[in-house]
Structure formats: structure tokens, C-alpha cells
Amino acid sequence: MYSDGVAVIGAGAFGTALAIAQAAKQQNVILWGRDPDTMGTINALRENNARLPGLRLPGNITVTANMASLHGQMTVLLSVPTQSLRGFLQEHAQWLASHMLVVCCKGVERGTGLLPEEIVKSVLPQAVTAVLTGPSFADDIGRGKPTALTLATDVPSGGELQETLSTPTLRLYLSDDPRGAQLGGALKNVVALAAGMVIGADLGESARAALMTRGFAEIVRLAQVQGAHPETLWGLSGFGDLILTCSSEKSRNFSYGVQFAQGHHMIDGVTVEGVMTAHAICEQNLDIDLPVIYMVSRLLKGEVSVPQAMETLLQRPLKSERLL
């Protein structure tokens, strides 16, 4: 089942990297992008200069802007920004219904509070789905550097999918908790924004460590209330992703936080999912203690400055250290 090849939808940096990685194992890989001119350029150069420069696309990657290139029953990796996912699925539903859909984006949809896999199910109720998430940068995956990710699904064929998508340098660990894996991947971006703001405001490494630790406690707390398994958050999709995203300037969310604290609030053409996720969580009015996540939303709205936010957090009532 779903043995007709692998397709990657979305020709950004991560989608391109996934296609390159899969090309090392699959006989043929499809890389789809929306804009025909852009995809024509990528095909002619055999390189995605705009999003992932310096990495050549192997010859067994078919570059296309035509959804009709999908055929049979394929494994389709959806590398589409979370806030654009619903519209994409609605537009292309006829081409996607027969395939295994593996969600590769992170975040929470504004207005609905849905996670990416839930968005897929709301548009395509009969779809067979999985989630691919965890600590990774596109450049590392594309260059074949050792990377480990979580493949989360509740379908019986999860082991077969794990075998299909694992490569010599991309090791996938199977999980039966898609919800927990997605919450870890979404919420760590919000904490990464906070970590970047702390560094950008020159508040020190100690403050970053404190925010990461207490932010992780909020991630576990929220995920458990929403039905996730706590142990999922201690794995690659939670703790592992948090460490990477909060400690490297290659992280879009961390870098955005740094620039935000220094008065530069936009990164042109770059998806920063943590911004939308912070607002989406706050819009749900959850009865859960999430001081770091809520403060990030206030910061992004310009309601407080970074030093004021840190002062407010430090003035919270003293308490015993508990994860939950």
C-alpha cells in the first residue's frame, strides 16, 4: 500500500531538503511547487537557489508545478506552512485523496486552534495521515548529515511507512501519539521566540536557560491537558526540538526573536510559525497556567517590552519546582 513512490509538496528549504534525502533511497521522487516559473528555474539549474542554495538536486527528482504528476497511491510529504495548509488542501483535494499524507509542518491554525493533521482531517476526512517532526534544519538534511526525527501515526502500517522514509542518514523513530508530537513541534517555536528575545535584549544565557526550562514545563502541561502522552514531549518531537530551536541562529523562530528584541520585526519571505502559534494558543482562552507563552503573545502585540516581560515573570509568586 502507498508503494507508488514519494512526493514532496512544497519547494521551500525543508521540502527541497526532504526531496534530496528521499532521492538517496527512492527510485523517483516528485518535488512540487506552486509557481511554474520558479519550478522551471529549479529544474533547469537543478538547484533551489532561493531557498536551499549550494545543494544540487539528484537526477531522480522530478521537479514540477503540476499536481497531476501524483499518481497511484504515493506517500506524500506535505511541507506547506500551517496557516496556508487548509487553503492548499481545499484547492488540491482531488489530487490528494488517494495518497498517504505525511504532515511536515508545525504550528496551530489561527481561528480554529487545530493542529496540522487535524486540518487535513477536517478537509479530507477519509485521508490516511502521519506526522513527521523533530529537531532538524533543512541544510543538515539536504547535506546528508545525521538527523533523527519522530514519525507519529496511529495507522497499523506505521512501521512500513517508517521503513519507507528512513534513509542511511535520516533515522525515524515511530510514535503512536501524533497529537503530542505536533504540540511539541508547535509550542517549542513559541519558547524559541522567547529565547531569542532574551538573547537579543542581552539579558544573558542564564535567562535563556530559565525560559527554556519553564517553557518546556508549559509545553508538557498544555499537551497533557489536551490528551497527549507526557513521555512524547521528552522525545525528539518535544525536548529534542526545543534544544535545537532555542540554541541556534539557524532557527527561524530564535532568529526572529533576536531581531524582534533589537527592533527589527520582520524577516522577509520567511515563515515564522511561532508568531501565529503564540496568538492561536492565546485566542483559545485556555484555563491553563502558561505565563511564558502568553507573555510572548503580548510581546509580539507590542503590549510590553522584553525587559518588562522578564520583570513580570520574575515577580510571579515563588513556588516549588514542578514540571506540571
* 252 annotated to a ligand binding site: yes
Shortest CA distance to 106 belongs to which of 44, 42, 31, 181?
Answer: 181
Residue 11 marked ligand-binding: yes
The answer to whether 121 is a known ligand-binding residue is no
269 is in an annotated binding site: no
Is 188 part of any known ligand binding site?
yes
Catalytic, out of 188, 250, 301, 319 = 188
Query: Does residue 206 have a known ligand-binding role?
Result: no
Q: Is 251 annotated as a binding residue?
A: yes
The answer to the question of whether 106 is labelled as a binding residue is yes
Q: 121 catalytic, yes or no?
A: no
CB 95 within 8 A of CB 87: no
Cα–Cα dist 6/31, whole Å: 9
43 labeled binding residue: no
Residue 100 CB-density burial (10 A; 0-12 exposed, 13-18 middle, 19+ buried): buried
Q: How many CB atoms lie within 10 A of CB 189?
A: 29
Is 51 marked within a binding site?
A: no
User: Binding site annotation covers 139?
Assistant: no
Whether residue 235 is annotated as binding a ligand: the answer is: no
**Cα distances (angstroms) measured from residue 228 to each of 108, 144, 175, 266, 318:** 15, 31, 12, 33, 28
Active site residues: 188
Known binding positions for substrate: 106, 252-253
Known binding positions: 10-15, 34, 106, 134, 136, 138, 188, 241, 251-253, 273
Known binding positions for NAD(+): 10-15, 138, 252
Known binding positions for sn-glycerol 3-phosphate: 106, 134, 136, 188, 241, 251-253
